[in-house]
Structure 1
């Protein structure tokens, strides 16, 4: 969990002689002790309940809701909690009778019977507010697992209680949040681990948010410490800040691409906006074949001939970088709700590269509206009722419309990058002779894509692949930068087999990126792991390396790997190598060793090789492959590197290693589709498709349990 901020209650000083008058310091100590004791008395259960009104347990009550804001903040008048990834629920317990209700008063009694049955054992009467979650083997909440939960064989349930509304004849909704939390902590039975307190953390909000990002949590909650509980109110005194953008949406239909063997290719999504149903795009990733078949059973009774939208919708709309897929729509009555994760929303109001997270049986379609992020600074200032800013906000995102770093004429130019003066020389030197692309073009490219490529370089040792005289002249690798790099460049020490101490360069900000480029590093080659966890990679990579194969065969194998991983419930992401093949990444979040990653990669490629042995090989020696495509899993080892996402390649055409939508991985795709000239424009349209690779890692144990039995 997020680190706790330690309080220093010690007071220094020497003992005072018996007859000497008390000093101011001793008075201060006494005052502190009195206040501490008084707080202890004030926080006692009888004292707290005495402040509450007597009354019957509320009925037909709905939970208090939070306002979505765009940034974390620090403020001493607010407290911070984990935003759990589950179903909101109210637990009514009175004289052994229990109701477990959703935010829309839908019964969860039978659906989540272990929680309901456990609440019936409580002796005290109370009404609590919290979140039902399904826990994976690491103890993290997993919404997809919760959504598919049918019995205790499907995993462990837990109820995280974060508020109390009524206790033994006392309505505590009018007490300040901190006092309600103090009551909850004292009265909540905790003999059974299925009921847990959702802890409040004594840390700055920005620090809490950073910890949530690292742990792969959905986000954090910020609550005004003195806020009262108001039923069915979306309050600005409760705020939610999401690590990843997510939204409940209505399923308005589905599509099937021409020639696809899938049950369906994508869901057509909608929200209510100004009283009308608004199309917000489609989602084609995040569900397995089995899940699709289950969803189709829900769809069949809702199929209609007429579109639910007032305006005409082009469900197969092409873009500059995507051709028509031959998608045909099937419309549904807009009654089902699901949840999607997405990167951002376009100017047209459409979700950019969304991913299906699960069905939302606890939400009504009529209540689904577009959820927009409010400005944190304005909301907090409004709630705090102060004339000056009350919060320290995180930095605004970088401008996505960067132009160029260097002008087109001067041969030598100096630019200040992150406080460091970098000198760029010989800028007209041609690096790609056939196309005429220069050293200047390379610098401008990396400057334009810096915000996209840096997450894949930061904190990772680099293997410098240098081509100081362009791609047609010999290049060389450099690993040791000891004594050869500026003082502000981060390094990572290592010792050779001969006992010589050396240092890797470590990726950091764009100053480091552009300094590497100044060495003639046309491509960027980071480790799979970071210096904080050097023996634990952030992803497993499968490298499809063709020999005498066509690129269409590479595409065939990539899709076969995805189908196998889909069956195991394992997300995967693909990119062109920028050379001849493709790379498939599986997120691990540094939870496993390189050996474990390599063994998992081997399991996958050996199965694929058995299916396609006529043109694939897992032989390490080139001579033993006999011209077949090499399915390389051995890259998953310490110190190994590949050209990272958005890296240029020292190849004809100045190609780029480009992340792809899976529906782009089809015959007709070419490596030359993505180059130094069009990649920045594509990124402005698609955003970072590879972002999930650095997010929540897979559960390897759960994945192996789903490995097809016929392949064991």
Structure 2
């Protein structure tokens, strides 16, 4: 019997993930926490359709718990005995199912510590202690399962020192948990893993999951009778890596039908002998970094990001991009199953699966199944029709290994995974081959692939971990031929043609799920393939056009000015094919497109236009991130304390825009604001929507508004999200609402314009509604436009590591400290840092720029190897630009607490100088964790608007110090 617990952290927002996990793992009972939905919105029917009865109690914004079971469930109680009038939420549900009493609980978080919430947490725990004693006294088989928000020991956190002041790690709480266990309960996970770090929750920091920066918060406590049946337990860690996942992963235990005898060490030794028989002694140390797990199921492959050009860069491996079917194979000695990238089983490739079984391995491999012509090139059409024709040689090119004989290899580097792969796959094999990885020039390798008429190449960071079901920037693909998967929405027949059809009408989906027409493909077919396609088309013909706007399929072009009398037949959008094409026109249509074959391994709704990203920026950004990865000797900066004068951020816990409606109207500061297209993905890779952006700015507004008040704003608009077209708007004379405050000004032609002034919460949210992802205020206010409130030094890296940015910031501070000048740092939210110096609106922009110039020149003298004062990018030689010229009228940079239009949904975050040290990352602060941080730190930037420096005195000191 399999029983699981899962802090879902919003059941309706993560329902697809929950259903996917239930389908692939099929637990008998599941305890859920943090439903965050009202009782009426609980998805009972969808869970029933998945085979589960459910009992739940929920609330709109807070916690909520539920129990799912494949058997009938009897409710026993909905709360712990005893009452508490403060912070009472849905936290405990007790049921009877499968002959077991199960208490599903969410123990209050208790942060901030110390404080009322922590005191409530202790009181709640005392009620649990009393009830636990009562439950054991009944003699029934019973368990207490859920999110305890307790790390019982140092072994339950990746960094004990980080959590010393956290409510989850206080001695009173750890003692309470120990007292609960001592009543006669068995901690299932710790019993099975007495000395191993097992994590169920991962920190909010960017890439925390990939670095295994985790905690053990989700616990099973079993009565004695059930403890004797405990056979195994695991964390389905890969679920944490799914798109839009909760910060917790599902945890499960397995109970046998009868009490178990104690396991012998001999059996364990025998299992180890098998893996050691496979892996040579010189490679066994690689398994020290691997986690012991049962074979996972339902994995989806790591995908590569499309970029526009090959490159040469140390630390990258280069492979051929095969033109076939991506395939994950699950090998066992009893048989092998092969699955597509969408978990559809490839049952037709029996020759490959039988050969894999003959390897006598228990493993999961990642690779590409390819049909080869006699000349060694791929024949995608032959692969597509393999089941019927089997006319080409079938090869499974393996390039990765994800699990091996009880060890998960996902967290090992690619280089180490390949070392293990090369030991388990025979070098000479008829239809199983390792896809070679080359340490060479990426540019030369690409040219060779192009000459060989291959599809392209894949570049992979040698030190990259395997991120299942994600599109990674650590794997890049460069295509020698432009290929695109498209949805077939119809076909056309020209007047007088004898062919089955003349062309296919094709399209792609956008983030909203709308199918857009991108042109026609009229070549790549022969009579047989057209006949086969028509057989499929006849099954899905429809009178309704599937595209958002019905296209003119006979539209003339500059290459074909005459109409051909083409008539469309529309099809239901259920078929996906792959095309090769020359280019995309400015109107978004494919040109010179050729049909390559159907793609049964791709779901139509996943087909989106794949646009090439700039190679240089992607490679540089990935390099910076890897330079900054935590090593075991590096400690993350401690959480910053609240400054004495810092205004604390308080939120109601209620979001401005909740629910799933695409359009909402809200009254803010007495003004009616309209919010539309709320599900539009502004940060597609991170699944962050317009709704998320509005809610962030609404929550952060109490701290942000003092830095916008009375300041002219440059509106940097991204109406299509971070990857769409963007533009600056300064004049709002005709567009601003009547209630908005503006500052009139005349341009050089004498035309009257108006700047929007930051004023209140309504103004901030109106700017966001225009697509202003980031907020860009002037350094001065409308009441004193020529006198900035602060001077800014902008550390703008080129080919620098972020550690060099930190070093430059530390040197800047030391220089300012030497002349008694206060300074306030913040991350830029991109790749650099900003250092603010208060001026109190007492000096002109020219004076501010002069002062900044003096400071950065001194920084450059001390760090000449990697900093420069050269403004022209091409002349910087890859060095960090120490920008002092931002201090001029009308110039703006991303304001404090502003979101940035960068992958990761980063935030420009104020820091304490104590945090500006090795281990700080440019992506530590994002939309996902900023509000939680600000509740703890308050406003660290308030001194920027305080009393300004005495510049005359300071310049005199500077001359004495630096002459």
Choose between structure 1 and 2 for higher RCO, CA contacts under 8 A separated by at least 6 residues: 1
TM-score under structure 2 length normalisation:
0.35
TM-score under structure 1 length normalisation:
0.48
